[in-house]
Amino acid sequence: MIHSRNRRLRVNESIRSLVRENILTTDDFVMPIFVMEGENKQEAIPSMPGIFRRSIDLTVKECKELFSLGVKSVNLYMKVSDHLKDNTGKEAWNKDGLMQTTIKAIKDAVPGMIIMPDVALDPYSIYGHDGIIENGKILNDATNDALARMSVSHAEAGADIVAPSDMMDGRVLAIREALEDSGFTDVGILSYSAKYASSFYGPFRSALDSAPKDEMEIPKDKKTYQMDFHNSREALNEVFKDIEEGADIIMIKPGLPYLDIVSKVREVIDLPIAVYNVSGEYAMVKAAAQNGWLDNDKTIIESLTCFKRAGADLIFTYFAKEAAILLNK
């Protein structure tokens, strides 16, 4: 005779929900947003169905809708005009630049929205790299100086949390000291601590035209600073160093293929963990759903819940708006 029957707690939805371990809510989401120059402009991103580049005015409109749905945080990326790009990234800290103007516009329109601007030089670089290049190499410390200036300019514009995604050594400390010295003691740092050199970023780089350029004198990929996807212990080393340097939240990127890293980090730290459900993951689900191979809505909710189960507290996802609509139903 069987005395212990696990199925007793799966008999119906009421029982299943009563003992459910992880609950997905709109509070978990951060929506990545692409911003472009112009007015009343919106451009579809072919590899990311349902995702657009928008001018500031339409970005503000989108943020108002997101907030009404319960999505209370956005992660900002700029589509920078080619004539503003160089090897120093100086447009990144222009007080009247596209990023800074966007931050101010969103804060004015939706004061409660948490704004997390991306901190990296690749959208501003003529080479498409996250750092300044000299003699064919990515300069670490010079790049950190640029990232610190960029972060302070974001804070001045009204950002709540800066999100360095570059993977330079020591950049969290450089940014933390610059923010402190400038009086922005309440501005947080969400550090991309374990960001892997991944093939899953393709649609994102198309959206911003930020892929490394194929030129003889520069690295053709980002493997000298982003992590080797073969490694897991290395992620813990990166995480611990960023925490020591002053990170408030740590990020693991990509998401679904790296749930083992999320779980491993969760076991050893108490800080909030963010995970990035990246563009390639989004594109795969959308392509499969459009072909009738997956149920779009069910796959979205299941995928996002998996991040919670693995130990993530924040989920950066292009599904944020769609998932919020589903959850609100």
Domains plus CATH for the chain?
27-328 (3.20.20.70)
Average pLDDT, the chain: 95
Over residues 140-145, mean pLDDT: 97
pLDDT of 129 higher than 60:
yes
238 is an annotated ligand-binding site residue: yes
- Six-digit token string for 241: 């160093």
Pinpoint the alpha helices (H) of the chain.
13-18, 56-69, 98-109, 140-157, 171-181, 202-208, 233-245, 259-266, 279-290, 296-310, 320-328
| Active-site position among 253, 286, 308, 321 | 253
Query: At 32, is the secondary structure helix, strand, or coil?
Result: strand
Predicted confidence (pLDDT) per residue in 256-283, tens digit: 999 999 999 999 999 999 999 999 999 9
pLDDT number for residue 211: 66
Q: What are the angstrom distances between the C-alpha of 68 and each of 51, 88, 112, 297?
A: 19, 39, 11, 20
Predicted confidence (pLDDT) per residue in 199-211, tens digit: 999 888 777 766 6
pLDDT level of residue 218 (50, 70, 90 thresholds): confident
Output the pTM of the full model: 0.95
| Active-site position among 79, 85, 104, 195 | 195
Is 286 an active-site residue? no
Predicted confidence (pLDDT) per residue in 14-23, tens digit: 999 999 999 9
Over residues 40-57, mean pLDDT: 96
From 13, 29, 117, select the one nearest 67 (Cα to Cα): 29
Half-sphere exposure of 318 (CA within 13 A, CB side): 26
Is 79 an active-site residue? no
pLDDT of 214 higher than 70:
no
pLDDT number for residue 217: 74
pLDDT number for residue 216: 55
pLDDT number for residue 205: 75
Predicted confidence (pLDDT) per residue in 176-190, tens digit: 999 999 999 999 999
Q: What are the angstrom distances between the C-alpha of 151 and each of 123, 182, 224?
A: 15, 11, 23
Predicted confidence (pLDDT) per residue in 77-103, tens digit: 999 999 999 999 999 999 999 999 999
